[in-house]
């Protein structure tokens, strides 16, 4: 059994600052559940939840996906848990909509997610997500949107063997033993840069994300330090210090937009392609969790279980 743990110092800071600050939510954030043929997607929008899944042909490759929102008048970032829930609509088994309102009714966020599955055994799935931010205040406002992801492309026992890359508006996470991973290892061994994989490589052990808008900043780094940066108050800047990481990698994208009063809006769209490793899934992946003790006294471990 493999375990991923958050260092106690980082966890204590996260618990006493990021998770306890921000706007108090009147209603709990919902979850999004989608299914289509060989694929299913589950995303819990609660800040404290670490139980996300993107399962293709029985194999779960997603550990965590999170979004954060910022406003120039507030130091800490907010999560969907800090927003009021306006509506949830299950359009179909494969499509859902969520509307949220936060920052004292100044920012409305509309989320649309759509899953595409394929024939059983194909080993692939597509996921489309859009986030529309609308300024509901009576003045011009600058908002920030942060998108964070953590995939385990090597299968449940190999989350420490991934490559994570960012290039302009594209993100790739792929297994060390995938075709893209093998090529990257060879290039690094020859003191050459890794080539960014094709947008849809059609090869096992990779997830590709294309953002319609190019991020203003980004960062890649190990779990859990990058996530702790976003939860801190004030959040540490994403500074483009690295575009390639090998190990238990995560990535965060930052978008800053100034929106006009009352009607100003912008939409961030992400198209994702997931190819699972070319192997039979060994067994069901247990849902990871973050203990509720995170909000109590110190001495906690933040664990990631894989077997």
Tens-digit pLDDT profile for residues 72-112? 988 899 999 999 999 999 999 999 999 999 999 999 999 99
The answer to pTM > 0.85 is no
The pLDDT of residue 202: 54
The pLDDT of residue 67: 97
The pLDDT of residue 292: 26
More confident residue, 298 or 126: 126
Correct CATH for 2-306 of 2.60.120.200, 1.10.3720.10, 2.70.98.40, 3.20.20.70: 2.70.98.40
Mean pLDDT of all residues belonging to the chain:
81
| H, E, C per residue of the chain | CEEEEECHHHHHHHHHCHHHCCCCCCCCCCEEEEEECCEEEEEECCCCCCCCEEEECCEECEEEEEEEEEECCCCCCECHHHCEEEEEEEEECCEEEEEEEECCCCEEEEEEEEEECCCCCCCEEEEEEEEEEEECCCCCEEEEEEEEEEECCCCCCCHHHEEEEEECCEEEEEECCCHHHHHHHHHHHCCCCCCCCCCCCCCCCEEEEEECCCCCEEEEEECCHHHHHHHCCCCCCCCCCCCEEEECEEEEEEEEEEECCCCCEEEEEEEEEEECCCCCCCCCCCCCCCCHHHHCCCCCCEEEEEC
The pLDDT of residue 88: 96
The pLDDT of residue 23: 38
Kindly tell me if the per-residue pLDDT of 186 is higher than 60.
Answer: yes
Percent of the chain with pLDDT over 90: 59
**Out of 4-18, 126-140, 284-298, which region has the weakest mean confidence (pLDDT)?**
284-298
Kindly tell me if the per-residue pLDDT of 18 is higher than 50.
Answer: no
The pLDDT of residue 214: 96
Tens-digit pLDDT profile for residues 241-286? 678 999 889 999 999 999 999 989 999 999 999 998 765 544 443 4
- Domains of the chain, residue spans: 2-306
């Amino acid at each position: 059994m493999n375990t991923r743990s958050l260092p106690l110092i980082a966890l204590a800071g996260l618990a006493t600052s990021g998770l306890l600050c921000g706007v108090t939510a009147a209603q709990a954030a919902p979850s999004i559940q989608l299914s289509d043929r060989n694929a299913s997607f589950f995303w819990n929008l609660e800040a404290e939840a670490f139980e996300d899944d993107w399962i293709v042909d029985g194999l779960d490759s997603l550990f965590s996906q999170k979004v954060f929102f910022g406003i120039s008048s507030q130091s800490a970032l907010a999560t969907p848990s800090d927003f009021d829930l306006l509506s949830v609509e299950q359009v179909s088994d494969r499509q859902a909509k969520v509307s949220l309102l936060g920052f004292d009714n100044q920012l409305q966020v509309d989320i649309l997610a759509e899953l595409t599955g394929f024939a059983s055994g194909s080993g692939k799935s597509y996921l489309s997500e859009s986030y529309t931010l609308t300024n509901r205040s009576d003045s011009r406002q600058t908002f920030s949107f942060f998108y964070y992801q953590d995939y385990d492309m090597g299968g449940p026992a190999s989350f420490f063997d991934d490559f994570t890359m960012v290039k302009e508006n594209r993100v790739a996470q792929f297994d060390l033993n995938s075709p893209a991973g093998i090529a990257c290892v060879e290039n690094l061994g020859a003191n050459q840069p890794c080539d960014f994989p094709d947008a849809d490589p059609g090869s096992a052990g990779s997830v590709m994300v294309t953002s319609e808008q190019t991020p203003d900043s980004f960062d890649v780094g190990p779990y859990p330090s990058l996530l702790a940066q976003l939860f801190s108050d004030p959040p540490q800047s994403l500074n483009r210090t690295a575009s390639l990481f090998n190990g238990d990698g995560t990535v965060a994208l930052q978008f800053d937009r100034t929106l006009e009063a009352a009607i100003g809006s912008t939409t961030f769209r992400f198209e994702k392609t997931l190819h699972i490793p070319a192997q039979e899934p060994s067994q069901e992946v247990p849902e990871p969790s973050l203990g509720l003790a995170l909000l109590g006294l110190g001495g906690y471990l933040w664990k990631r279980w894989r077997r």
